[in-house]
Chains A and B, each alone.
Chain A
Amino acid sequence: MAVKVASEWLNSCSGCEVAILNLGETLLAVLPQLEFVHIPVLMDHKYFGQTGEGDPHHIDIPQAVVGIISGGVRNQEHVEVAEAMRKSCDVIIALGTCATHGGIPALINQWPNADLFERYYRGSESTDAHADPTGKVLPACLDRSYALDEKIKVDIYLPGCPPHPDWIGEAIVALLEGRAPQLPTKSVCDTCPTIREGKGKLKHLHRFTKNAHYDPAKPVSEMHCLFEQGLQCMGSVTRAGCAGKNGQAPQCITARVPCQGCYGPVRQNGNQLLDYLNALASNQIDFTSLTDKTTLLEFSGGHGLLRAKAGRQ
């Protein structure tokens, strides 16, 4: 019998859902074994009955074995949808770094909502100044943007911005086979083929204002490590996975660009900022050469790691 799947997206961009579609023919192959009961991006199942006739206090998510949730939790509606998913699904998968660690949207946690609204509705050069939209029809914003497990229990963490389709496929197939998915546990550096010569000579990091030094005719495996070239490469403090199961190199490195850190910390509860500062210190690299330290938490600012700075309203 087909396994029932429900899918939801909260404070998200839909990149995780596109990553699911990027399974391509693999997805077609497993489709007969899956029965989607709720997935707003593809299917017209509604929260309150198909004509809105249902109980307005009860979000209806059909019972499912697997619940896939992308996005962090930013407003009251997200909380309610996440709770409804938790009630209806046996296993909850947090899909993508917004759900697992806060992701890019958690950068807003450095400001109180009042600052955002002031800028957005009254401080913008193209906007006719107006009071904040506070109509009853809008769900209230929470005080900040949360990772999913700050609001509901999560069973499987699938980080990545977005997660590589190989790992989404692995999670689906593992659940169909009744086993735990085999997901990456190493760092991006552990999967990177570039040449490391030792960090001894490096004293400062510099901004990515010109391209890395490499021969475009030669493969990535013949390029000097981008961190050792003095770029702020996040590979050492970031979970591996972006190369997929059979990739030759991490994705940013393939583009000859330093790792951005999008899979979050190597361990689920790690801290990319502290780990990175430690790495710089242990190699005698001047940490003041970092242009913006909060960039180190660009993908993992949930769980209270990024906070409003003093002096902001």
Chain B
Amino acid sequence: MAPTTVAAPAESAFAHGAGAQKVINIQPVTRIEGHARIAITLNEAGGVADAQLNIMSLRGFEKFIEGKPAEEVPKIVNRICGICPWMHHTASNKAVDGCFNAVVPPAGRKLRELMQVMAQINDKILHFFFLAAPDFVLGAGADYKVRNVLGIVAAAPELATQVVKMRQAGQMMIEKFAGKVIHPIVVVPGGFAKPMREDERQEMLAGTKEQLEFAKFCIEFAKQNIFYKLDRATLGLGEIKTGFLGTVSPDDGSLTLFDGILRLMKPDGSHQEFTYAQYADFLGEHVEDWSYCKFPYAKTWGEGFDMNLAHPKGIYRVNTLARLNVCDKIGTPLAQAELEEFRSRFGRPAQSTMLYHWARLIELVYACERVIELLEDPEITDPHVRNEVTPQAGRGVGCVEAPRGTLLHDYCTDDNGLISRANLIVGTTHNVAPMNMSIRAAAESVIAKGVVTEEALNKVEMAVRCYDP
């Protein structure tokens, strides 16, 4: 058979000739939502010389939406991610609103946030139980054939059935109202395509109250069975020291997933704030030869870009842990109580990579509470949900907090309201440099003297799974 390019790391310059080194491939990285390979290079002593996360593909959304009528783009870019299409759909609509100088009526804005936060609930259940939990519930070293959600179904059928039912109910609740739950179409420039009826509000409220009860069960279950029992080695797996980026309310610095101001925190806890439109003044993107995906960094710190574990430069993280680190508080009571416990144990900013999972479940509680708040607001059933928009030349930067991090869509339109230029920074992309560092850190902690076990390699992947890429 002809040599394959997919196996290239083992055949690269590292593997042959003077100074030859062995490369361990973890391919594909599994129980994540994307496509990647981990390549760990060993030195002569069998220790870790280097570790890379190779992002293997490039689809080119920024290029191929050029020329599209801007009002159609929120229905195209949702295909960037089938797990978080609502995030792209809402961020894109905000960007088009900016291009068209649109004003969204209050009910339209509230319905947008409702959908965006509801989608986070299902996403967090999916990630924790289907993708991450098998490593903790069944063990990092369990046979790969059972170390998965099917193994959880077999080992804990009642729990698994409840998880599947709750996630399914959440998905169907969105679908019933919004038509489509995967790759939504109901958010439109200028607002929302349909108002919410009172009977729909009542039904959704009842469903979300059940979800909140389930969320409370989830975080208690996870604390008692997983988080409180984490040993020092697991808690330190893939730990690195970085800054953090997330969105907070401009009024009181509280956590917000839908709309606010960006806060960029240094590792020492000091921070700067900036609006969406200012993002390119504060953030840059670095390119490496070995990944199609770019590496965002904090340009504003003026120190450049370096993934050195001891002396990183410009590295910040996004996603759940980042949001809980940058926010001053959470505006809903149960999630705030959880945040207080979390901070009393780990301080601020907390750096342990494994804590992403804990932070994710705190956000699950917040998301349920926030959805109930929105549904209890009488204005949400106001029939005026959209203002007419006028295609025109302009620029708009739309942003939301996706489950996987700060999501930026930056568009320009021409006189006909067609996209003339688009620039995106997607949640997981911010975490590409940190993931590389966490892989390196994890690999160094579990590989020595050339001994490479399946369990050790799964622990390296566990460091990646924290970021839910």
Residues of A within 8 A of B (CB): 9, 11-19, 21-22, 24-25, 27-28, 31, 36, 40-48, 50-52, 56-59, 74-78, 80-81, 103-105, 107-108, 110-111, 115-116, 119-121, 124-128, 130-131, 133-141, 145, 161-162, 207-212, 216-217, 242, 251-257, 260, 262, 291-292, 294-295, 298
Chain A residues, CB < 8 A from B56: 75, 77, 138-139
Contact between chains at A57 and B7 (CB < 8 Å): yes
Report chain B residues within 8 Å CB of A42: 30-31, 130-131, 148-150
Residues of B within 8 A of A (CB): 1-13, 24-28, 30-35, 37, 39, 52, 54, 56-60, 62-65, 67-69, 71-72, 75-76, 79-83, 85, 126, 130-131, 144-145, 147-150, 153, 160-161, 164-165, 167-168, 171, 175, 178-186, 188-190, 193-195, 197, 279-280, 283-292, 294, 296, 305, 383, 385-386, 388-391, 410, 416-418, 423, 425, 452-454, 457-458, 461
**Chain B residues positioned under 8 Å from A11 (CB to CB):** 57, 59
Contact call B5/A107, Cβ cutoff below 8 A: no
CB distance from A312 to the nearest CB of B (A): 11
B183 proximity list for chain A (CB < 8 A): 15, 161-162, 262
Contacts A24-B168, A136-B8 given: A104-B288 contact, CB under 8 Å? no
A162 and B68 within 8 A (CB): no
CB neighbours (8 Å) of B145 from chain A are 43
- Report the bound CA distance from A138 to B35 in whole Å: 12
Question: Hey, which chain A residues are within 8 Å of B190, CB to CB?
Answer: 209-210
Q: Contact: A298 with B76, CB < 8 Å?
A: yes
Alpha-carbon separation in the docked complex, A295 to B280 (Å): 30
> Shortest beta-carbon distance, B181 to chain A, in Å?
8
Please determine whether A76 and B5 come into contact, CB atoms closer than 8 angstroms: yes
Knowing A48-B27, A210-B388 are in contact, say whether A56-B126 is a contact too (CB < 8 A): no
Known: A111-B63, A125-B410. 4 other contacts (CB 8 A): A11-B59, A12-B82, A40-B28, A76-B5
Verify A116–B150 contact, CB threshold 8 A. no
Residues of A within 8 A of B180 (CB): 242, 251-252, 254-255
Give chain B residues whose Cβ lies under 8 Å from the Cβ of A43: 30-31, 144-145, 148, 150
* A134 with B289, Cβ < 8 A, contacts A15-B82, A262-B183 known: yes
Question: Are A127 and B287 closer than 8 Å at their CB atoms?
Answer: yes
Q: Which residue of A lies closest to B296 (CB)?
A: A126
CB distance from B295 to the nearest CB of A (A): 10
Are B179 and A253 touching (Cβ within 8 A)? yes
CB pair B59–A74 under 8 Å, yes or no, is: yes
Given A24-B165, A256-B194, A125:B35 Cβ within 8 A: no
Residue in A124, A135, A255 whose CB lies within 8 Å of B179 = A255
Partner of A75, one of B30, B57, B280, B454: B57
Question: With a CB–CB cut-off of 8 A, which chain B residues contact A292?
Answer: 67-69, 72, 418
Q: Could you give 6 example pairs across A and B, Cβ below 8 Å?
A: A22-B171, A48-B27, A80-B4, A120-B63, A137-B37, A252-B185
Q: In the complex the two chains form, is A48's CB within 8 Å of B24's CB?
A: no
Could you tell me the distance between the alpha carbons of A78 and B27 in the complex, rounded to whole angstroms? 13
**Is the Cβ of B69 less than 8 Å from the Cβ of A251?**
no
Cα A145 to Cα B59 with chains together (Å): 9
Residue of A nearest to B35 (CB): A9
Cβ contacts under 8 Å, A119 to chain B = 62-63
Chain A neighbourhood of B283, CB < 8 A? 126
7 smallest beta-carbon distances between A and B, as pairs = A15-B82, A255-B179, A24-B168, A56-B7, A130-B287, A254-B179, A107-B64
- The distance in angstroms between the C-alpha atoms of A81 and B28, with both chains bound, is 11
B58 lies within 8 A of A127 (CB):
no
A144 to B234, CA, bound (A): 43
Tell me the minimal C-beta distance from B244 to chain A in angstroms. 19
Q: Report how far A216 CA is from B199 CA in the complex, Å.
A: 12
